[in-house]
Amino acid sequence: MKTIALEFCVGTACHMKGSPDLVASLETLSPWQRKSVELRYTHCLGNCGAGPNVKVNGVLMSRVTPESLVRTISKYLGQG
C-alpha cells in the first residue's frame, strides 16, 4: 500500500497561522486515504515567516491551506 508521510509544524507561529485547521482537514479524507497517512508533529521546520508549514514525504510545503493539503494528498494517493 502506498503511504504518505506528513510532518506538521505545530510551533507557535504555524499554530497561529492555521496548523490546527490543517490537521482537522485530514478528517475530510476518505477512510482508505486516511489509513495511508502517517502523521507526525514537529516544533519547527525553519520557515516560520511563511507558515503554516508541512513536510510531505520530506518535501517542505509552505503557506499550506486545508484545500491545498487535501489536494496534494489526493494527487499522491489517487482518488481510489
Partner 1 sequence: MASNNSEMIRIRRELYTAVANMTWRGRLIEEIDDYPDNLIAELTTRYRCCEHKEKAVLKERLRVILGLTPYEVNKHTTLGTMAKIALQKATRPNSCTIEMLAVACDRCPFEKYVITDACRNCIAHHCCVVCPKDAITIVHNRAYIDRNRCVECGLCERNCPFRAIIQVTRPCEQACAAKAITRDQKNAAIIDCETCVNCAACIPSCPFGSIADYTQIAQVVTMLKESPQAKHALIAPSFVGQFGPKATPGGLRAALLELGFTAVHEVAKSADEVASLEAQEIQERLASGADFVTSSCCPSFVATIKSQYPDLVDRISHTPSPMAHQAAQLKALDPQAIIVFIGPCIAKKNEAAGLRTVDAVLTFEELGCIFVAKEINIAAITEEGELDQANSLGRGFAKVGGLSRAVMAKLDENSGITMRVANGIEEAQTALKDAKAGRLGASFLEGMACEGGCIAGPGTLIKRVVAEKLLERYCQR
Site membership for partner 1, residue 21 (CB under 8 A): yes
**Grid cell digits, residue 71:** 489536494
Nearest approach, Cβ of residue 44 and partner 1 (Å) = 6
Site membership for partner 1, residue 18 (CB under 8 A): yes
Site membership for partner 1, residue 17 (CB under 8 A): yes
Q: Rg of the Cα trace of the chain?
A: 12
Which one among 43, 57, 71, 80 touches partner 1, defined by CB under 8 A? 43
Nearest approach, Cβ of residue 12 and partner 1 (Å) = 5
Site membership for partner 1, residue 5 (CB under 8 A): no
Pairing of strands 37-42, 54-56: unpaired
Give the single-character DSSP code of 30.
-
Query: Alpha carbon of 38 to those of 4, 6, 35, 48: distances in Å?
Result: 6, 6, 8, 23
Nearest approach, Cβ of residue 15 and partner 1 (Å) = 4
